[in-house]
């Protein structure tokens, strides 16, 4: 079991870190910890000013800029899917519903989403006919992270803490002594009594996991890449 201390022992802080400030009852689900001070990725050139436009200018600059914008917005798999959806709609793709009959046309560009965390986009060639081949490019939207457990809030010695679990094959020691925040998806109760999914992204530091004190882990100073040195 892992416990992470909140930066300030305040009851109002635990509410803002685990629950978004909606006017109705909200149950947190799929909330993840995120590095708060991760630097924003930007497009730069190492070439001289005379030929920099040839390297990062024009269409190439636009493509790389779109990629960096996507990475900066994709805190979780849910945000990655939402940002991909926004960019596809802006590029002229048509959103499909899996429950509807599709009227696909040659030259058309389409996509659909599932569970707010999966997106499938495709385009149909102008000369496509049934039986022709097609190309597939696949990737995943999720990444290694620390996930908040349900009912994770607790307090001890004047500090508010949250219980988390590891997700994926993360390099977990790199998360120590860093400002962390919370992002993910929650289910909220709306005014008419129905429930809706909402995305949460808290853009300020909330949580920190301190490195274990040296007298509690005598070998931490000698551990390098999983090998004990002496």
Residue 170 counted as domain residue: yes
Over residues 95-139, the pLDDT tens digits come to 999 999 999 999 999 999 999 999 999 999 998 888 888 899 999
For position 120, what pLDDT does the model report? Answer: 96
Count of structural domains within the chain: 1
Residue 192 counted as domain residue: yes
- Cα of first residue to Cα of last residue in the chain, in angstroms, is 30
Over residues 79-97, the pLDDT tens digits come to 999 999 999 999 999 999 9
22: pLDDT strictly greater than 70: no
Residue 150 counted as domain residue: yes
Average pLDDT, the chain: 78
24: pLDDT strictly greater than 50: no
228: pLDDT strictly greater than 90: no
Name the residue range of residue 212's domain: 2-38+142-228
Write b or e for each residue in 162-184: b if 16 or more Cβ atoms lie within 10 A of its Cβ, otherwise e.
bebeeeeeeeeeebeeeebbbbb
Higher pLDDT, 42 or 111: 111
CATH number of the domain enclosing 221 = 2.30.250.10
Residue 203 counted as domain residue: yes
Residue 183 counted as domain residue: yes
Closest alpha carbon to 125 in 111, 107, 102: 107
Residue 87 counted as domain residue: no
């Amino acid at each position: 079991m892992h416990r992470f201390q909140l930066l300030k022992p305040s009851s109002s802080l635990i509410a803002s870190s685990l629950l978004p400030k909606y006017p109705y009852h909200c149950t947190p689900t799929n909330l993840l910890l995120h590095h708060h001070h991760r630097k924003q990725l930007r497009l730069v050139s190492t070439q001289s000013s005379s030929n920099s436009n040839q390297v990062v200018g024009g269409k190439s600059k636009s493509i790389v800029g779109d990629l960096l914008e996507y990475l900066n917005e994709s805190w979780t798999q849910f945000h990655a899917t939402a940002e991909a959806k926004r960019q596809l709609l802006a590029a002229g793709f048509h959103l499909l519903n899996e429950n509807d009959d599709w009227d696909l046309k040659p030259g058309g560009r389409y996509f659909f989403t599932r569970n707010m965390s999966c997106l499938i986009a495709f385009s149909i060639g102008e000369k496509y006919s049934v039986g022709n081949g097609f190309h597939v490019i696949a990737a995943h939207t999720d990444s290694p992270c620390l996930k908040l457990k349900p009912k994770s809030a607790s307090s001890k010695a004047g500090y508010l803490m949250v219980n988390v679990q590891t997700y994926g094959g993360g390099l977990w020691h790199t998360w120590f002594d860093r400002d962390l925040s919370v992002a993910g998806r929650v289910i909220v109760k709306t005014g008419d009594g129905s429930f809706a999914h909402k995305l949460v992204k808290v853009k300020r530091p909330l949580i920190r996991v301190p490195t274990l004190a040296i007298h509690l882990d005598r070998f931490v100073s000698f551990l390098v890449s999983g090998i004990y040195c002496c």
